[in-house]
Copies of this chain bind each other. A is one copy, B any other.
Amino acid sequence: MGRCVLTEHGEDHVRERAMSRAATIKDVARRAGVGVATVSRVLSGSGPVSPATRDRVLAAARELEYRPSALGRGLKTRRTGTLGLVVPDVTDPFCAELAAGVLECARTFGENVLLDAAHDDPEREAEIVDRLVEQRVDGIIAVSAGEGTAWEAAMRAGVPVVFADRAPAGPPQAPTVLADDAAGVRAAVEYLVGLGHRRIGFLGTTAADTGVREETFRATLAERGLAVREELLVRARPQRDSAFAAAAGLLQSRPDMTAVLAATHLLGEAAVLVARELDLRIPADLSVVMVDDVPWAELCDPPLTAVARPGRRIGYQACEVLLRDPARRDRSRPVVLAAELVIRGSCSPPAGLSGGTARSARTR
């Protein structure tokens, strides 16, 4: 038939593609000599089909390289097989880990994931949600920054929402999956206090998400009979430069502080870098604990003690809550996943206790 039998198949494809566009179910039906309904039945595995017809349809589909269109299907079935994931920032290791969890779980359900980053901007977040609704996603998983209004709109539009890692303050009633930040911070503070620290600093953010961390910090100190010294609590905006400024301010002006708890890995990074700049040795001059056990914690010298929050599992579970058993989704309180204090080398008893050298915080 063709001049070159070996490449005939390939030529076929090229010609078909080049001329008409992608094959539709109608093309398959025609080629197999059956009706579209039958093709649909074969491909979706529903309804009775005789083995002979099935084979013909399957063959036709293969020959045409037929791929059902998610658009056509979604229009009819009202499901897109896609869900939305909104995070503050993909390059944040914690968010990335969470996203990996979502991806992993979504995959087991055969769902796709539409990702976007809101950069802690409520307005941008609202716009993203709008677009996700427009895409008719089957659900949204959100590490939310803004207030609830955007999410309320989504839920009104019939799109289920699950919050991950951060519980929004506002009214939107939606299932939530969180890390047990309180327990983590409590463990960290108690660890420091147990080592003998009395003047412990706190680096937090103005964003809502470190709120419980700060509260727990205060509460634990109080429980242990230690006064909370307001001048040791500093808050930064969630940007890198702001974190630095905050850390610099705290470390420079409080020479009697012997330990610091960074409520965020960005703040932990800032603390480490500023300490190095100020020639403060960790842990001899300053003990450091950080929330979020990002990969570099172990690479630091000394390796950083940190509160490990299970980002991947949070993402996985959030996705599971969203997709499994949507009926039971609405009632039920937040899922809380354990956080764990990973003790490494960045904390020691304070200088006075251990007999270490007096600290030298020269401001060059």
Contacts and interface: CB of A to CB of B under 8 A. Distances in A.
Given A103-B115, A273-B298, A71 B80 contact: yes
Closest 3 A-B residue pairs measured CB to CB?
A: A296-B296, A301-B301, A115-B115
20 contacts: A14-B156, A21-B78, A22-B157, A22-B158, A67-B130, A69-B136, A70-B136, A71-B74, A82-B114, A90-B90, A90-B100, A91-B97, A99-B115, A112-B116, A112-B131, A112-B132, A113-B115, A114-B115, A269-B299, A295-B296
A110 to B, nearest CB: 8
Interface of A: 13-14, 17, 21-22, 65, 67-72, 74-75, 78, 80-82, 89-91, 93, 96-97, 99-100, 103, 107, 112-117, 130-136, 153, 156-158, 269, 272-273, 276, 295-296, 298-301
A29 to B, nearest CB: 18
Given A71-B136, A75-B75, 18 more contacts: A14-B156, A65-B153, A65-B156, A67-B134, A68-B134, A69-B134, A72-B75, A91-B99, A100-B117, A103-B116, A112-B114, A112-B131, A269-B299, A276-B301, A295-B296, A296-B296, A296-B299, A301-B301
A134 B134 CA distance: 19
Contacts of A93: 91, 93, 96
A90 B99 CA distance: 7
A143 to B, nearest CB: 14
B70 A134 contact: yes
A103 B115 CA distance: 8
Contacts of A116: 103, 107, 112-113
A90 B82 contact: no
B13 A156 contact: yes
A71 B72 CA distance: 7
A70 B84 CA distance: 14
B91 A100 contact: yes
B114 A90 contact: no
B298 A300 contact: no
Tell which of A13, A89, A99 has the most Cβ of chain B within 10 Å.
A99
Contacts of A68: 134
Contacts of A300: 296, 299-301
Contacts of A13: 156
Nearest to A265: B295
